[in-house]
């Protein structure tokens, strides 16, 4: 396809072999040589196109920067001649292009009613695209970004050039090559040599330094924009939402998805100082505050390793809402909005059996106990400690116990009509606990169907249950509280508060030393053995639905409505891995050997992620 460069053309797309626009009649090839394919950027001073050099090889892609004199305000009396400015810009870009992390200037020409710069095309993704694909950045990635870009800015500033538009879209991660590339020089430099009107903003809103917004950019203005870029990548939030107008200060720390060291905080805070005298004055000064980096081969000894999707299981006809893995690690149970419970071989993904749900069409049938299934979506699953019984809770208000050897229903526990929202077996006994939508927790003796106790303190839905190794029951609720119960007398021992929205999930380290809770407020909280808050992690961009503890107790996983699964280091709170579904993640579970992580999603699939050992060379800071 060929793209018309006439800025007022209403139908700019043309056939690939066309030399004149079918709509406006304008010539399509710049200088009868460079063919624009598509617009890849647009600003106040012109447009940028992906193009092909028709005199080169078919694969010789380049970038056309179109500069239109009327867009530069050069018609006012006393304004510099556009030709003179263009030649100065050509000389400047020729010199800057000598740096390996700045695109080279390949050609320049005045053509038709505009001026054109032809530059090297850097194949890759800009950092805004990387952020959308990979989610928020880690501290190590930010250090690497600073180490990559500060020498570039040092070079640029030594040529008496101020970039003026540093932001994630203007930093490219090349497909080939290890260092980031700084792009989009040129158009703003024309404004520096012209008489810009008061109020003209050069740069991108949210990223520009205060003095630059007043038309008085200095070298430190680029450093300010680099700092804003860093906090945007760390948080995934636009700078407009990271600055508090009422406090006249940056508030980026409260939006971190993983903790950062005090060293990085100090560097970023100084980059973001609004007062020029308090900010870094040069790129060299910032570089002096960067930690030394060393490269060494490393092999992952942490149980995080590298997680890859081993297989995707399909078969449910509704979103997957619950998962559980048998103590032996051989069998996976899944529940769905389609009312069914399915049993799978974890190692091969083979479907072993389906406990069908009840509907009007099969209510009176008599097929292998299928009519004894649930009448509404499955909301919770749990294996008994010997792996012979599976408990399933449903929105129909019932808890059913299934014999996994005979694949038959053992019994339905008498409920009180509210949705069952959580079930768990005591790993040390045969006790079963169930929680429901009205806030009630019930304790059962499954062998006799005897109701042992009603625990009624929560004011809203019980969302999660766990048994502490010392024998206490822990519950989380939509009433924003976490409660610790004495199972012998049913009394509340402790009530924890801290989440500002519904508590949606909880999990414990195997030794019970750390409790982890998650909420719709998008945060994860870690509590110590004295039930004091250890750490808060701003973990996801949407509500968190589920948590799972790795059997080593060194890491845990969280699943969210934002389609992602994240693995976290318990000791540091840092993020170890990011995995994705196409829709929200409702349930996750680690296998007993820690080698597999299973996730269920609203996209109706189950993914089995396998841990692999990774040997790599990486930068250690």
**Rounded CA gap, 505 and 520, in Å?**
9
How far is Cα 158 from Cα 136, in angstroms, rounded to an integer? 32
Question: End-to-end distance of the chain based on CA atoms, in angstroms?
Answer: 46
66 forms beta bridges with 47, 116
Sheet with 462-467: strands ordered across: 462-467, 473-477, 481-486, 491-497
| Nearest alpha-carbon partner for 426 in 461, 457, 470, 395 | 470
CB 134 within 8 A of CB 126: no
Nearest to 117 by CA among 42, 67, 60, 163: 67
d(CA 319, CA 335): 9
- Return the half-sphere exposure (C-beta side, CA atoms, 13 A cut-off) of residue 195: 8
* Radius of gyration, alpha carbons of the chain: 30
Q: Are 279 and 271 in contact (CB under 8 A)?
A: yes
65 is in an annotated binding site: yes
Question: Strands 46-53, 34-43: parallel, antiparallel or unpaired by DSSP?
Answer: antiparallel
Determine the Cα–Cα distance for residues 233 and 316; give it in Å rounded to an integer: 37
CB count in 10 Å sphere of residue 524: 25
Q: Do strands 399-403 and 389-394 pair parallel, antiparallel, or not at all (unpaired)?
A: antiparallel
Task: Return d(Cα 388, Cα 395) in angstroms, integer.
Answer: 24
Spell out the SS3 assignment of 164-177.
Answer: CCCCHHHEEEECCC
- Residues known to be catalytic: 165
Residues 166 and 225: beta-carbon distance below 8 Å: yes
Question: What DSSP character marks residue 274?
Answer: S
- b/e string for 540-579 if b means 16 or more Cβ within 10 A? bbebbbbbbbbeebbbbbbbbbbbbbbbbbbeebbbbbeb
d(CA 559, CA 174): 31
3-state secondary structure (DSSP) of residue 39: strand
Pairing outcome for strands 420-425 and 432-436 = antiparallel
Interatomic CA distance for residues 587 and 546, integer angstroms = 6
| Backbone CA torsion sign across 199, 205, 208, 210 | positive
Q: Are 172 and 148 in contact (CB under 8 A)?
A: no
Q: At what angle do helices 127-134 and 219-235 cross, to 10 degrees?
A: 20
Tally helices (H) and strands (E) across the chain: 9, 43
Nearest to 316 by CA among 367, 355, 369: 355
**Antiparallel, parallel or unpaired: β 34-43 and 29-30:** antiparallel
Q: Phi-psi category of 25—alpha, beta or left, where left has phi over 0 and alpha has psi -120 to 50?
A: left
Annotated binding site: 65
Annotated binding site for ATP: 65
């Amino acid at each position: 396809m060929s793209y018309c460069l006439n800025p007022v053309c209403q139908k700019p797309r043309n056939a690939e072999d066309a030399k004149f626009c079918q709509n406006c009649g304008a010539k399509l090839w710049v200088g009868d040589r460079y063919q624009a394919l598509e617009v890849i950027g647009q600003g106040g001073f012109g447009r940028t196109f992906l193009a092909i050099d028709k005199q080169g090889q078919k694969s010789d892609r380049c970038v056309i920067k179109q500069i239109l004199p009327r867009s530069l305000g050069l018609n006012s009396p006393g304004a510099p001649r556009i030709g003179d400015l263009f030649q100065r810009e050509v000389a400047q870009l020729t010199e800057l292009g000598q740096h390996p992390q700045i695109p080279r200037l390949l050609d320049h020409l005045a053509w038709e009613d505009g001026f054109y710069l032809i530059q090297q095309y850097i194949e890759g993704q800009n950092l805004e695209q990387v952020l959308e694909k990979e989610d928020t950045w880690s501290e190590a990635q930010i250090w690497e970004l600073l180490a990559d870009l500060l020498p570039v800015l040092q070079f640029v500033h030594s040529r008496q050039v101020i970039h003026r538009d540093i932001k994630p879209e203007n930093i490219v991660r090349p497909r080939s090559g290890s260092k980031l590339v700084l792009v989009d020089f040129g158009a703003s430099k024309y404004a520096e040599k012209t008489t810009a009107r008061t109020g003209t903003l050069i740069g991108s809103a949210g990223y520009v330094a205060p003095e630059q917004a007043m038309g008085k950019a200095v070298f430190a203005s680029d450093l300010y924009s680099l700092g804003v870029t860093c906090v945007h990548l760390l948080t995934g939030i636009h700078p407009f939402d990271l600055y508090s107008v009422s406090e006249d200060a940056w508030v980026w720390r409260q939006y971190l998805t993983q903790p950062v060291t005090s060293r990085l905080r100090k560097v970023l805070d100084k980059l973001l100082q609004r007062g020029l005298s308090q900010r870094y004055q040069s790129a060299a000064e910032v570089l002096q505050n960067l930690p030394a980096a060393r490269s060494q081969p490393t092999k992952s000894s942490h149980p995080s390793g590298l997680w890859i999707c081993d297989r995707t299981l399909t078969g449910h006809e509704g979103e997957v809402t619950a998962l559980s893995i048998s103590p032996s690690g051989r069998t996976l149970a899944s529940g769905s909005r389609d009312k069914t419970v399915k049993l799978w071989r974890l190692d091969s993904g083979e479907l072993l059996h389906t406990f069908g749900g009840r509907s009007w069409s099969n209510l009176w049938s008599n097929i292998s106990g299928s009519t004894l299934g649930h009448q509404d979506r499955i909301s919770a699953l749990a294996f008994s400690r010997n792996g012979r019984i599976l408990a399933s809770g449903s929105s129909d208000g019932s808890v059913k116990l299934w014999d996994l050897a005979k694949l038959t229903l053992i019994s339905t526990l008498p409920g009180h009509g509210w949705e069952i929202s959580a079930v768990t077996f005591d790993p040390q006994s045969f006790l079963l606990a169930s929680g429901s939508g009205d806030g009630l927790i019930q304790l059962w003796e499954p062998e006799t169907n005897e109701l042992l106790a009603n625990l009624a303190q929560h004011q809203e839905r019980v969302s999660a249950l766990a048994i502490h190794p010392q024998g206490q029951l822990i519950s989380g609720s939509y009433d924003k509280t976490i409660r610790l119960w004495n199972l012998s007398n049913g009394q509340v021992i402790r009530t924890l508060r801290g989440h500002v929205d519904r508590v949606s999930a909880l999990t414990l380290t195997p030794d019970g030393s750390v409790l982890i809770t998650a909420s719709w407020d998008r945060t994860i909280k870690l509590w110590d053995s004295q039930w004091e808050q250890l750490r808060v992690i701003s973990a996801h961009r949407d509500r968190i639905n589920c948590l799972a503890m790795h059997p080593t107790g060194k890491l845990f996983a969280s699943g969210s409505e934002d389609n992602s699964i994240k693995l976290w280091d318990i000791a540091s709170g840092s993020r170890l891995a990011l995995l994705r579904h196409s829709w929200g993640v409702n349930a996750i579970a680690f296998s007993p050997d820690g080698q597999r992580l299973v996730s269920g999603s609203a996209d109706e699939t189950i993914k089995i992620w396998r841990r692999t050992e990774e040997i790599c060379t990486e930068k250690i800071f």
